[in-house]
Amino acid sequence: MRSEEPAARRESTYVSNDLSGVVHGPSVQAQRIHGGITFNVQAQPGVGPDIRPDEVPPLPFPFVNCLLCLAELDAWLGPGRSASVKVGFGALYGMSGVGKTALVSRWADGKRDLFPNGQIYVDFAVLREEAEGEDVSEATRQCLRSLGVDESSIPASFAERTSLFRSCSSGRRLLVVLDNVSRPERVASLIPKGEGSALLVTSSSLIEELAADGARMMPVRPLDRASGLELLTERCGEAAIEADVESAERLVDLCGGLPVALHIVAARLLTNPGLTMARLAGELADESGRLAGMSLGERSVSAVLDLGYREFPSDVARLYRLLGWLPGTTFDVGVAAMAADIDTQSAETMLRMLVSAGLLEPVGDGRHRFHGLVRLHARERAADEEPEGERLALIRRVTTHYLALTALADRSIRLDRLRVTDLTMLLATAPDPFEVKGGQMPLDWLEAEHRNIMDVLRAAACEETLRTQVWQLSEAFTVLFYYYRHLGYWRESLELGAAAAAASLEPAAEARLRSLLSRPLMDQGKYEAARRELDAALACAEVSGDLVVRASVQEFLGRHWEHFDLARAMDAYRRALELSTAANERRGVALATFFLGCVQDADGDHGKALSTLRRAHAELTARDDPRMAARVLAAMGVAHDHLGEHDEAIRTLSVAARALREQRATHYEAQALVALAGIRERSAADPEAVRADLTRALEIYEAGFNPEAKVLRRRLEGEGAAD
C-alpha cells in the first residue's frame, strides 16, 4: 500500500507484529496496515506562514517619564540604529519593581511596525517557578512554539533547539523579550537571525556577560518626585492630588520612586474611600509597618523584592539581611565586613553582587546605601531568618568598629587632649587607616561619617550591655565638633554618653561628658541646662578624685560664668590652674591660662590680659598645638584693639584667622573675622576688606546653622543698602 504523501515527504520503518522492534526517525502517527507493515508518515518541522506572535504584556497603567530611555531604545533597536547592526541586542537592568517590564511594554507597543512578524515574550521568573530553575533551553522551546513549531517537532537538546530557532527566525523581523533573567548563560542564543530583529532582556542584576555578548546596557532607575507625582495623579486624579499636594509628595517620597509601590498605594486610596492621603502617609511614615502598608491582597512590594532575593547565594543573602539591621544610612566595605563578621575581600565581592542586583547604590568614596524600601525588606528578611541574638551581636561588632576608628581619628588630630577612656587594648591591634600614605584625613572621615556614628550611638544606647562602648564613643566623637559645630548632634551624642556613663557607674567619665555637654548647650543659649550639667559634673568629678578631670570641670564652669559673673569665672580658671599644676598637666595649665587671659581682657585689665595670653601662646606653641595657639593669637588681637593698638590688632587677627582656617577651626575663624571687620570699620579701612571678612564669616555660620548668621546677613544687607 502506498501513502498519499509525495515521495520527498515520506518515511517508512518496518516493525514486527509485536511492535518490539526499534523505530527510527520522527513518528507521531502510526496506523496498522494489512500484511503486518506499518507506515509512519510525518511532515518535517515547519513554521506556520501566518503565525504572528503578539505576546509582550499590555501596559494596564499610565506610563510616565523614561522618555530618554525610550529614545535610547529607539537608537539601539529601532530605525535609529547603526546600519552595520543587523540584529539589535539590548539589556535593561534595575532593582525589582522599578518598572523595567513596563518600559519594555511601552516601547514594544509603539514599535509593532518595526517587527511585522511578531513579538515573542518569555518570563524567566515563571520559568524558574515551573521548571525549578532558569532554563534557556525551556525558553527556546517556548519561542519555537510561539513561531508555530508543533510540540512534537521540538528537539530535545538545547543545541538542536537553538539551531531550529535560528532557522525559524531567519527571514523574519521579530522582537524577542526575555523578562526577569537572572543568569546570562546562553541567553545570546536567542538572538533572532532575521535582519531588523531584536532581542531585549530585562534583569534585576547588571549582567556584565551580556555586554560581552554584544548587548547594549541600560540602567532603569526609580522615578524622581515629579514623575512619581505624575504617576499618582494619573491613577488617583488631579482633584485628589491638588486637594493635598503635601501629603501626595510625602507618599511619593515614602515609595522611594518605585512604580510598584506607587501603584499599590494608589490602589489602596482608590479602593478605600475613607482613606485619605494624609492618613496613608502617616501610616507609612512608621518604618516598622511601611512594607505591610504597601501590600494589597497577594500583591506587595515585599513579594516583588523577594523575587531577586531568592536568587542570591546563601552567603550573599545573609549579608543582605544583616546590612538591613545596620545602623546608619551609608557604609563601606569595612563596616559591611564587620556587620557580617567576614573578611573584607569576601564582603567586597558580595557588595559588588548586591550593587549588580540593583539593591545597593554606590554613593562615592567607597560607600554604599540601600534604597529605602529595599533596606526595610532586608530588615524584614533578617527578622524572619536570622537567629535570636544576631542583631545585638551585629550592633556590638559595628559599635566596636566605629569606636576604634573614631578613637584613632581623634588621636590623629590631637594626641595629648584629655581623655578619660583607656582604649589601649582595643587600639593595640587595630590598623590605623589615617597613617596610610594618601589615605583619608581623619577630620574628613569624621565629617563624612558623623551621621552614621550618631545612628550607631543611638542603636547601641538601647542595649544595656553596650553602655561602656557608648560613653567611650561619645567622648572620642567630640573631636569632630570642635571643628564642625553640628550643635544638635554634639548635644545628643554627649547626652547619650553621659547617661551611659552614669548607668555604668563611671563618675570620671560622667563628669567629663557632662562638662563637655555644657558647651553645645551654651552655644544654643540654654544656660540653665548647661549649669545643671556642670553642677552634676562637679559632683561626679569630686567622687572620682581625678585631679585632671576636676581641673577640666572647673575650666568649663569658668566658661559658663563668663556670661554672668567675670569674677567667679576668673576664680574657676585659677582653680583649674591649681589642679592642673598639681597633676603636672601642662596642656591643662596652658588652656586655663588662655581662658583666664580672655576674662581679664573682658574685665578691663587689658595689659595684664595680654601678658597672660602671651604666656599661654608660648606654652601652646612649644607643645605644637597650632589650633589652640591660633585661638590665643585671636584673643591677643582683641586685647591689642582694647589697648588702642589697632594696626597690631589687625595684623594679629589676620594671622590668627588664616591659621584657624588652615586648622579648619572654622567656628573660631568666623569669630576672628567678625572682630577683624569691626576694627577695620572703626579704623575706616578698606570697605571691601570688611565685606570680605563678614562674607566669609557668614558662610561659616550658615554652614553650621549658627544663629549669628542672621545677624551677619542683616549687617551685610544694611551695608549694601548704604552703598
Tell whether the torsion through CA atoms of 165, 170, 172 and 175 is positive or negative.
positive
Closest by alpha carbon to 602, among 614, 616, 613? 613
Q: Report the C-alpha gap between 140 and 249 in whole angstroms.
A: 44
Q: For 695-717, what is each residue's pLDDT tens digit? A: 999 998 888 777 788 888 888 88
Q: For 173-197, what is each residue's pLDDT tens digit? A: 999 999 988 888 888 899 999 989 9
Q: What DSSP letter does each residue of 143-203 carry, written as one string?
A: HHHHTT--GGGS-SSHHHHHHHHHHHHTT---EEEEES----TTGGGG---STT-EEEEEE
Predicted local distance difference test score (pLDDT) of residue 686: 81
Q: For 418-468, what is each residue's pLDDT tens digit? A: 999 999 999 998 889 998 888 889 999 999 999 999 999 999 999 999 999
Lowest-confidence region among 56-70, 159-173, 251-265 = 56-70
Does domain 67-219 bear CATH number 3.40.50.2000? no
Predicted local distance difference test score (pLDDT) of residue 24: 33
The average pLDDT across 471-493 equals 94
Q: Report the C-alpha gap between 674 and 679 in whole angstroms.
A: 9
Lowest-confidence region among 27-31, 129-133, 451-455, 672-676 = 27-31
3-state SS track over 69-128: HHHHHHHHHCCCCCCCCCCEEEEEECCCCCCHHHHHHHHHHCCHHHCCCCEEEEEHHHHH
In degrees, rounded to 5, the angle at the alpha carbon of residue 365 between the alpha carbons of residues 258 and 228 is: 15
316 forms bridges with which residues in the sheet? Answer: none
pLDDT above 80: residue 379: yes
H or E element that contains 367: strand 367-370
Predicted local distance difference test score (pLDDT) of residue 130: 63
Q: Report the C-alpha gap between 96 and 85 in whole angstroms.
A: 30
The average pLDDT across 137-144 equals 91
In degrees, rounded to 5, the angle at the alpha carbon of residue 58 between the alpha carbons of residues 114 and 98 is: 100
Tell whether the torsion through CA atoms of 620, 626, 628 and 634 is positive or negative.
positive
Predicted local distance difference test score (pLDDT) of residue 129: 67
Average pLDDT across the chain, whole number:
86
- Residue 673 near residue 693, CB atoms below 8 Å: yes
Share of the chain above pLDDT 70, in %: 90
Q: For 597-606, what is each residue's pLDDT tens digit? A: 999 999 999 9
Closest by alpha carbon to 627, among 513, 445, 479, 463? 479
Lowest-confidence region among 19-33, 280-294, 662-676 = 19-33
Predicted local distance difference test score (pLDDT) of residue 73: 87
**Where are the domains positioned within the chain?**
1-44, 67-219, 225-304, 312-386, 391-504, 599-723
pLDDT above 60: residue 42: no
Share of the chain above pLDDT 90, in %: 55
175 forms bridges with which residues in the sheet? Answer: 119, 198
The average pLDDT across 615-626 equals 93
- pTM of the prediction? 0.72
Predicted local distance difference test score (pLDDT) of residue 555: 95
Homologous superfamily assigned to 599-723? Tetratricopeptide repeat domain (1.25.40.10)
Predicted local distance difference test score (pLDDT) of residue 414: 83
The confidence band for 46, taking pLDDT boundaries of 50, 70 and 90, is very low
Q: Is 183 exposed, middle or buried (0-12, 13-18, 19+ CB in 10 A)?
A: middle
pLDDT above 50: residue 23: no
Does domain 312-386 bear CATH number 3.30.70.360? no
Long-range pairs of 136-140 with CB within 8 A, sequence gap ≥ 24: 136/185, 136/186, 136/187, 136/189, 136/190, 137/161, 137/186, 139/178, 139/190, 140/165, 140/189, 140/190
The average pLDDT across 199-218 equals 85
The average pLDDT across 603-618 equals 95
Predicted local distance difference test score (pLDDT) of residue 132: 55
Q: Report the C-alpha gap between 320 and 310 in whole angstroms.
A: 11
Closest by alpha carbon to 426, among 472, 466, 390, 462? 472
Predicted local distance difference test score (pLDDT) of residue 537: 97
Pairing of strands 119-123, 216-219: unpaired
In degrees, rounded to 5, the angle at the alpha carbon of residue 623 between the alpha carbons of residues 620 and 627 is: 50
Phi-psi label, residue 709: left if phi above 0, alpha if psi -120 to 50, beta otherwise:
alpha
Q: Report the C-alpha gap between 720 and 712 in whole angstroms.
A: 12
Predicted local distance difference test score (pLDDT) of residue 40: 38
- Residue 101 near residue 124, CB atoms below 8 Å: no
Other beta carbons within 10 Å of 650: 20
The average pLDDT across 46-62 equals 75
- Residue 646 near residue 682, CB atoms below 8 Å: yes
> Which carries the bigger pLDDT value, residue 35 or residue 246?
246
Query: Is residue 502 classed as helix, strand or coil in its secondary structure?
Result: helix
Residue with cell 530583529: 197
The average pLDDT across 291-318 equals 86
pLDDT above 80: residue 29: no
Lowest-confidence region among 23-27, 285-289, 292-296, 339-343 = 23-27
The DSSP code for 568 is H
The confidence band for 311, taking pLDDT boundaries of 50, 70 and 90, is confident
- Residue 300 near residue 317, CB atoms below 8 Å: no
Pairing of strands 367-370, 198-203: unpaired
pLDDT above 80: residue 297: no
